[in-house]
Structure 1
């Protein structure tokens, strides 16, 4: 059994992008199947186009962002659910003056990230 308060989980700035931070809510050392992370992209921030070797399940908590997944672009907002398949390029760019915040679950397995060109 694990019980934590979100405020007690440290936030780590991410090297890729601008204004991006991540809280590791449940790591794969804590639980056997899925890590749970909370990403925040500050207003005016972005996460660059990249691929991952594991799928992503995401739930948007707040804010809005232009999300690019493969050849599609759309606006994601609070309450939206996203699925990013393995090895499909994706990126995020905030819209408006509110931070874009989302939960991101990833399965057990090595996650290799590859940055893509524009």
Structure 2
């Protein structure tokens, strides 16, 4: 498996944990804030156990800018699935247009090494 693919896979897993840490508690608005914070911090630990090695692997194959642009796209892709499955949110045309702009940013970032 290539280093770039490992980077993408590790950041994808990291982002799953990130979305649960950042937004999952919104499904339980009645729970105490301290519990939401504690649960989010606990999930963030798992996020970092995938993100840190992913970024270290990615840094051996990509520039920092390429990694950041790729990370933003991974974050959005994971968030779209998360928002749909957890909250029933659907994509609208403007969401797709914004995502297309980010994909264009990825193309520009990787096209001219």
TM-score higher than 0.5 here?
no
**Structure exhibiting the larger radius of gyration computed from Cα positions:** 2
Higher relative contact order by CA 8 Å / sep ≥ 6: 1 or 2?
Answer: 2
TM-score by length of 1: 0.24
Greater percentage in helix? 2
